[in-house]
Every structure is written in structure tokens, then in C-alpha cells.
Structure 1
Amino acid sequence: MKKYLIAGLLTWLPLAITVWVLLWVLGLMNGMFGTVLSVTQAVFPASAREGLEQLRTIPGLGVLVMVVAMLLTGVFVTNIFGQWWVRQWDTLLTRIPIVKSIYSSVKQVSDTLFSSSGNAFREAVLVQYPRQGSWTIAFVTGKPGGEVAAKLPGEHVSLYVPTTPNPTSGFFLMVARDQVTPLGMSVDEALKYIISMGVVAPPASASASGTSLPEEADPNRRG
């Protein structure tokens, strides 16, 4: 019985989690559509509010409207006129107390993670963590800057070390560049490896076949 229960669980669990994530995304988009609709109803006269309320009952309309809105927004902000409006909007929000701290932080993180010119999560590496001789997979998120970079000797990289099986939480490290070992696997393959707790190992790539782990310094070794 135990064997059959585990086999059934392993069959249905990936599908159940996938459906749960999709339902969460759909619920979030429908919630955003509902908020926009409520604001719109407050602007229109009472005679038109009843017709707008009927839009809530149409299945999938909220998701469709939000996807179209994001596409149109992307088209708008990629031209010169749209970029000027984005700069004005950013300037306005960065002058509002409390709001500027939250907005600026979220914008910097989102620009780093999702911008095509950024280098976040573009490279998977091996690093010794949490102690010497213990290796884990990490992702390069950039290089230290400002006062931190001035205090660090030599070249360092910023790393994100995800936890398993939930990679959305993890640790932020700044490590010397020569202490990390680049991997030939893609970021997607590395994430699968982490989420599966090492069960789903990606195939060894040709570029990584000649890459070896850095040797630790042996105080008893004579040159």
C-alpha cells in the first residue's frame, strides 16, 4: 500500500502544484482587473455602473484585459515619448516619502532581474558554502558596488544561493571571483537540479568537461 500511495503521490503532485500556481496567477490578474474596474465605476455615472459590473461575470475577461494592457504598456514605454513619461512618473514617485523607498527598491530589483541588459541569473556557478569543502550551486547577480566594493580586496562577485526545494528563498554572498567555479549548465537546468534536491542532474556539457574545482591551499604541501 505504501508503495502504491507514493507512486500515486509522485504522479499527481507535479500536476497539482502546476494547477495551483496557475490558479494563483489567474486570481492575481483577476484581482487587479477588479480593482481597475472599481476605480472606473467610481468615475462613470450611476447609469453606466451596472453595465460595467456585468463585466465581472465574464470568465477569463480579467486575464485577457490585463495581458492586453501589459502588451500595450510595453509598446508604449519602448518608444521615445513613452520613455519620457516613465521618467516623469519615476521622478514623481521618488519624491513621495515612504513610497520612494519601496518603489525605488522594487524598481531596482525588477530592472536587474528582468532587464535584457542585466546580468542577474545569467550564470550558474559552484561555490563553497556554508563551509570549506562543502559545495553548492549559486547564481551570479552582479558585482559589489559603492562602499562595499571599496572595502573588498580584489575582484568579487555577488551571488544568490537558493534553498531547496524552494529556490525563492536563499542567501546573498559576496565572494572572490577566483573562489567560484563557472558551470556549463543553463540557469533553468541549475534550478531544476536545486528544486529536485540533486535528483534531476543535467547532462555534463562539453564546455564544463575541462573545468575542475579549485584546489584548496594545503599548509603542509611543499612547492
Structure 2
Amino acid sequence: MKKGIRTYLVTGLLVWVPLGITVFLIGFMVDFVDRALLVIPEQYRPDTLLGFHIPGIGLLLVLIILFLTGLLAANFFGRKLVKLWERALNRIPLVRSIYSASKTFAEVVLTDSTDSFKEVLLIEYPRKGLYSLCFQTGTNLGEIQSRTGEQVVCVFVPTTPNPTSGVMIIVPRKDVVSLDMEIEEAVKMVVSLGVVVPHWPGEGLDAVAERISDNNKPEQPAVAKDWPQP
């Protein structure tokens, strides 16, 4: 009885906790953007112009600004302006490093222009016999591919529970194992410290253990046949 009550309570928490966190974060983001509008002179604020307060108006304005910026940067004239802006930022030592790293990260995460994070792999890392989840980030490695003399891939091994940090490793293609799980499923597994494991319809743990046990059994010696007497 107690076990059943505990199960129902945990199930209820699993339903409400993610929903509560989502609502809290969205509310925090909307409130944060609305407060950012306080830097605008009072006579030009949306509340003053409209005559009443609209929750989330700041977030709406940010989305509109992002859309207009993207629309401008997508044409020839806009691209020229962006290049001039980046050229100016690249002349400032500290700003140049931060901006360059931020731009590279944004391009990898927000665009589909590369084949990064398109496949979940398994490699033996940090030593032989230990396995780590990783994401393939590139296959066309140019000079590295030529110097190694074999097909290699670039992978990103995330840390847990924060998958945004990790290490980049270049490994031979023959040493990686391709997995069927989706990128999102692998990220959930990393964040949950391995507690949330994606469902896989293949053979279960018992079948794998039985197969390994059969492979490790010593071979039986051949039994001599009883030949008929002449």
C-alpha cells in the first residue's frame, strides 16, 4: 500500500515539476525582458504609448527585432553591414575573442549548415574498456585526415550533467560504434547521469548476458567414437 502511494506521488511530481519549471522560466524570461524596457525613456515605452500594460510586450518586441535583423542580414546590403560590424569588433582584442567564440557556438547550435551533432556514437574513452557517449561533429578533417592515413571522425564527448562542456576527440572511424538513439535522447541520458535511458527494442540485458556467457564457456573435448570390433 505504502509503495503504491509513493509511486503515485512520484508520478505526480514527474508530471508537475517539469511543467512548473517551464512556466517559471518562461515567466522569468518575460519579466526580465519587460524590465529591460525601463532603459527606454518613459515617453517612448510601450506602456506609455498604448496607455496600458501588456505582459510579455518586451519579449514580443525582442522577437520583432530579431526577425527584422534576420530579414536585413539575409540580403546583400545587410550582409555588407554585418561584415563591417564584425570587422570593427575584430579590431578590439578582448571583444574579438569573445565574439568569435560566441559566433562559432551559435552557428553550430542554431544552424543546420554543418553535419554536427547529427549522430550519436559510442567510443572507448577515457581508456580501453570504458565507454562514453559522444556526438559526431565532423568527417571532412582536411590535413588531419591526410596525415593520419586512415578514415577519422571528430567527436564531442560531453560532460555530465552539463552537456554544453566536454572534450573534442579525433578517433578512427573503425573505433566508433553508431547508435540508433536520437540526439535529444542522448542529451537526456547525459543530463540525467544515465538514469533516463532511451527505450531500445533490441535484445535485453538477460539475452546479452546469456550470449556472453555462452561465448565464454570452454570448448568441450571431442569424444572418441567407439569403432566396431572386426
- TM-score for the superposition, normalised by structure 1: 0.70
Match of 1:106 in 2: 102
Rounded Cα–Cα distance in structure 2 between residues aligned with 1:30 and 1:80 = 36
Q: CA deviation at 1:165?
A: 4.8
Counterparts of residues 68-217 of structure 1 (less than 5 Å): 68-142=64-138, 154-196=150-192, 197=194, 199-203=196-200
- Of all paired residues, the percent bearing the same amino acid is 31
What is the aligned partner in structure 1 of residue 9 from structure 2?
A: 8
1:144–1:174 Cα contact (<8 Å) kept: no
Unaligned 5+ residue runs, structure 2? 203-230
1:93–1:6 distance in 2 versus 1, CA, 3 Å: farther
**Secondary structure at 2:79 match in 1:** helix
Distance 1:17 1:51 in 2: 32
Check 1:142–1:52 CA distance in 2 against 1; reply closer, same or farther (3 A cut). farther
- The structure-2 alpha-carbon separation of the partners of 1:18 and 1:86, relative to structure 1 and needing over 3 Å to count, comes to farther
How many residue pairs are counted as aligned between the two chains? Answer: 200
In the alignment, is the contact (CA less than 8 A) between 2:33 and 2:59 conserved in 1? no
Partner of residue 31, structure 1: 32
Distance 2:46 2:104 in 1: 41
Counterparts in 2 of 1:182 and 1:172: CA distance versus 1, 3 Å = same
The alpha-carbon deviation at position 203 of structure 1 amounts to: 3.5
The corresponding residue for 1:214 is: none
What are the equivalent positions in structure 2 for 1:51-66 lying under 5 Å apart? 52=48, 57-66=53-62
RMSD, matched Cα: 3.5
Q: Which runs of 5+ in 1 are unaligned?
A: 206-223
CA-CA distance at 1:130 after TM superposition: 2.6
Which whole-Å deviations, capped at 9, do the CAs of 1:163-196 have from their partners, x for residues lacking one? 4454344333232222112223331233344445
Q: Match for residue 40 of structure 2?
A: 40
Pick which of 166-175 and 58-67 moved more. Answer: 166-175
User: In 1, distance between residues paired with 2:25 and 2:96?
Assistant: 28
**Whole-angstrom distance in 2 between the partners of 1:184 and 1:108:** 28
| Runs of 4+ residues deviating >4 angstroms | 46-57, 143-153
Q: CA deviation at 1:129?
A: 2.1
Answer yes or no: is the 8 Å Cα contact 1:155–1:176 preserved in 2: yes
Structure 1 CA distance, aligned partners of 2:151 and 2:135? 17
Cα distance change, pair 55–38 in 1 and its aligned pair in 2 (3 A): farther
Secondary structure of 1:132's match?
A: coil
SS at match of 2:40: helix
Structure showing greater radius of gyration is 2
Tell me the TM-score normalized by structure 2.
0.68
Q: Secondary structure at the match of 1:161?
A: strand
